[in-house]
Amino acid sequence: MSVRAAPPVQSENLWTETPLVYSSHISDIIGCAAYLKLENLQPSQSFKYRGISRFAQQSKEKHGSSVHLMIASSGNAGLAAAMTARALGVKCTVFLPTDVSVDTQQALRKQGADIVTIGEIYSQTLAALRDAVKKDRNAVLVPSYDSPVLWDGHSSMVTEMQRQLPRQPDAIFCSVGGGGLVGGIMQGCKNVGWDEVPIVALETAGSNCFYNAIAVNTRNFTSKVPGIPSAEVEDSAPYAVEVVDEHNIAIPHMKSLKSRAASLGASSAAPGVVRMAVDRAGGITCASIQDEMAMHTARLFADDHKMLTELACATTLTPGYNRDFLLRILGPKFSALSPEERKEKCLVFVVCGGVKISFEEMREFEEIVAAAQVERHWRVQIDGEEIQVPKQ
């Protein structure tokens, strides 16, 4: 493979400082100030460019220009690695599950990456990558989400938020798959003294490995003190459990993934991030929603803000488009505030980005949501409680 010429690098870090913009649309719906951290404006169109570019830069510094970056991905992490490799002038190979779209593969090839399609799910693709790395003396395995280097890179968005916001936020909302983003946000909050700021981690019901991990380690959200991990679960459970002694954490491994939100398609969460979450002073609120709710939000957000978002990203925004859902997430103290008091509150939604969306998919989402309108409520889970919120 011939490596394309690298574009000029403008600063030590390759990522872009993204804007934090006030959303009048969402603010009017929820009754308080809503800000959007637009990570979809990174060079690779997702937050993953932050941590992966930092990891790649360190790899080149350590191994030299002959380094071969190799990564397993469903798309966004791979694109971040490919674009970073192009900027650094090094080789990159991306391992993809076999069901990744042709459009995603073409986007990777345009950035000069080699592609290997193997495995039906991410964990199988990752296993194949690990075998390949052993056979290439120049290869470095680039993690998609499970690395302190990645979390450190992602934490830079919170440093930017602190400069950009008029004051400390009352909550930060993000989507979560394997945990790379929420790990970065927790690290960033620690760096700027926001350890008490609530963080809300949202997933779709068919890919909620992080939700399950927090549930397993907190007696189904009933204890703030993690219990002694156990690998014993009922046969009917949708996951098997592994105890990770290094972090004294139990990690559920999903037996199957049943969500269209492919970017949330990790079958297990990063143990280090789960440990951070259960130890965090401000805690983590976990919520899980239906795919159709994320699809509905993606359409509303596109109409209001003229931006297409894939389902993983739209998942973050669902509380901004459903005030009842937001109030259930933030709890009785927030719900008890008067309208005037609520106007003084400040919430941040991390628009994490992602390239796995198209006009065709948006039209398909519209049809799916229309078919689901026969039900008048969305079914959601918040910290172990299954509830219904009215459709708005």
- Judge contact between 146 and 119, C-beta under 8 A: no
Determine the average pLDDT of the residues in 91-103: 92
- Kindly report which listed range (44-58, 94-108, 317-331, 335-349) carries the lowest average pLDDT score: 94-108
Question: Who wins on pLDDT, 11 or 206?
Answer: 206
Residues 35 and 115 in one domain: no
336 located within any domain? yes
Encoded tokens for 201 = 């981690």
Residue 7 has pLDDT above 80, yes or no: no
pLDDT tens digits, one per residue of 211-230: 999 999 998 998 877 666 67
Residue 343 has pLDDT above 50, yes or no: yes
Residues 26 and 71 in one domain: no
Residues 131 and 276 in one domain: no
Domain end residue (candidates: 110, 145, 180) = 145
The angle formed by the CA atoms of residues 248, 253 and 254, to the nearest 5 degrees, is 150
Q: What is the average pLDDT value for the chain, to the nearest integer? A: 92
Question: Who wins on pLDDT, 36 or 261?
Answer: 36
11 located within any domain? no
User: What CATH number corresponds to the domain at position 356?
Assistant: 3.40.50.1100
Residues 239 and 373 in one domain: yes
9 located within any domain? no
Rounded-to-integer distance, Cα 310 and Cα 343, Å? 29
Residues 162 and 257 in one domain: yes
**Beta carbons within 8 Å of 310's beta carbon, 6+ residues apart:** 261, 262, 263, 298, 354, 355, 356, 357
Residues 282 and 216 in one domain: yes
Residue 256 has pLDDT above 60, yes or no: yes
**Element spanning 217, H or E:** helix 209-217
**CA–CA distance from 4 to each of 88, 104, 114 (Å)?**
10, 19, 12
Percent of the chain exceeding pLDDT 90 equals 80
Domain end residue (candidates: 145, 177, 211) = 145
Residues 60 and 108 in one domain: yes
Residue 10 has pLDDT above 70, yes or no: no
Rounded-to-integer distance, Cα 391 and Cα 321, Å? 10
2 located within any domain? no
Whole-structure pTM value: 0.93
Determine the average pLDDT of the residues in 62-84: 95
Give the pLDDT score at 374: 82
Q: β-strand 377-382 against 385-390: which pairing, if any?
A: antiparallel
Residues 255 and 350 in one domain: yes
Residues 301 and 331 in one domain: yes
35 located within any domain? yes
Residue 9 has pLDDT above 50, yes or no: no
Domain end residue (candidates: 126, 145, 164) = 145
Residues 128 and 178 in one domain: no
Task: Identify the domain containing residue 118 by its residue range.
Answer: 48-145
Residues 246 and 294 in one domain: yes
1 located within any domain? no
10 located within any domain? no
Residues 235 and 366 in one domain: yes
Determine the average pLDDT of the residues in 225-249: 82
pLDDT tens digits, one per residue of 375-384: 899 999 999 9
Determine the average pLDDT of the residues in 195-217: 95
Determine the average pLDDT of the residues in 290-315: 96
State the total domains in the chain.
Answer: 2
376 located within any domain? yes
Give the pLDDT score at 228: 66
